[in-house]
Amino acid sequence: MLEIQDLSCGYDGKPVVRDVSFSVRAGEIMCLLGPNGAGKTTLFKTLLSFLKPLEGTISINGHSTAGWSRQMLARAIGYVPQAHSAPFPYRVIDVVTMGRTAHLGWFAAPNAKDKRIADEALHSLQIHPLRDRIYTELSGGERQLVLIARALAQRSDILIMDEPTSNLDFGNQIRMLEQIRLLSNRGMTVVMTSHFPDHAFLCSDKAALLRRGQPFLAGTVKEVVTSGNLKSAYGIDVEVAEFTAANGQKVKTCIPLMQA
Ligand SMILES: Nc1ncnc2c1ncn2[C@@H]1O[C@H](COP(=O)(O)OP(=O)(O)OP(=O)(O)O)[C@@H](O)[C@H]1O
C-alpha cells in the first residue's frame, strides 16, 4: 500500500536521511525509531510532500505520489501531529470537521455530511462527550484523541502519527497504543514515531530505525529492535528481555543498563 524506495530527503539539496526503503501494507503498523535529530520528522515531511524527495520514490497503491496535488495526498494520508495548543479556542467538533478540508472545493464550507462524518469519528474513538468542549481546555490525552478523530474524518487509508504518545501518562500511553491497534484492525495503515522501543513490541508489526551516519534499517520488530541495533542508534547498552505474564501473554521489553 505505502511503498518507499531508495528515498533520500533533506534540506537545500543536502540529505539528512539516505537510502530509505520500506513498505507497509493495509492494516499494518510501523513504528519508526531513532535518536533526536536522526531525521524522523524530515522523513514524514517528505512523505507528506512538504519536502520534495532528493532521490527515490514514494508510492501509494502502486502509484507514485510525485506530482500529486496536496488535496489528493491529503485524501490518501492523514497526519496526526503531536497534541498542540491551537491558537484559537475552537470547539472539538470544529477541529474534527477541519479534517474534511481535503474533500471540500475552493471556498466551500463543510456541509451536513461533513458534520456527520466528524461526529462519527468522535463516536468511533468514544470521545463524543467532548464534542462541544473547547479544544484548548482539554488534557493532553484528550487533545491527542481529538487530533486522531480529525485524521479519521479525513477518511484516508494511511495515518502518519508523530509521537502519538508524547505528553501522555503511563496509562494513557498504553490506551493510545491500544487505540492505534484498533485502527489498524479496521484496515488502516499506520506509520508512527516513538522514542520508546517498547512501543514497537507492544503494538507494531514492523519497525524501522534511523541512525545518524549509518544505514537505515527496516523489517519485523524482532529483526530491528535488538540490543545491538539500539546500542548503535542510541549509544547505550540495552538488553531485550522476554517474559510471560500471569495471564500467559508473552511480552518483550527493552531494559537499559546504566553505566554509573
Ligand atoms: N528546515 C530545516 N532546514 C535545515 N535543517 C533542518 C531543518 N529542519 C530540521 N533540520 C535538521 O535536520 C536534522 C533532522 O531533524 P528532524 O527534525 O528530522 O529529526 P527528528 O529525528 O525528527 O528529531 P527529534 O526526535 O528530536 O524530533 C537535524 O539535524 C535538524 O537540525
pLDDT at 160: 94
Q: Which mutation among 17, 20, 41 tests ligand 1's pocket best, with the greatest number of atoms within 8 A of CB? A: 41
Q: Is 255 exposed, middle or buried (0-12, 13-18, 19+ CB in 10 A)?
A: exposed
213 lines ligand 1 (CB under 6 A): no
Q: How far is the CA of 260 from the centre of ligand 1 (A)?
A: 30
| Domain boundaries along the sequence of the chain | 2-233
pLDDT at 184: 94
List the residue whose alpha carbon is closest to atom 16 of ligand 1: 39
Task: List pLDDT tens digits, range 29-38.
Answer: 999 999 999 9
Q: Which amino acid appears at position 26 of this protein?
A: A
Q: How far is the CA of 193 from the centre of ligand 1 (A)?
A: 14
Three cell numbers written together for 64: 507514485
List the residue whose alpha carbon is closest to atom 18 of ligand 1: 39
Can you list the residues of the chain whose pLDDT is less than 50? none
Torsion angle of the four alpha carbons 69, 118, 85, 42, in this order, in degrees rounded to the nearest 10: -30
Q: Compute the distance between CA of residue 146 and CA of residue 148 in angstroms, rounded to an integer.
A: 5
pTM score of the predicted model: 0.90
CATH of domain 2-233: 3.40.50.300
pLDDT at 107: 62
Q: Which atom of ligand 1 is nearest to the CA of 35?
A: 25
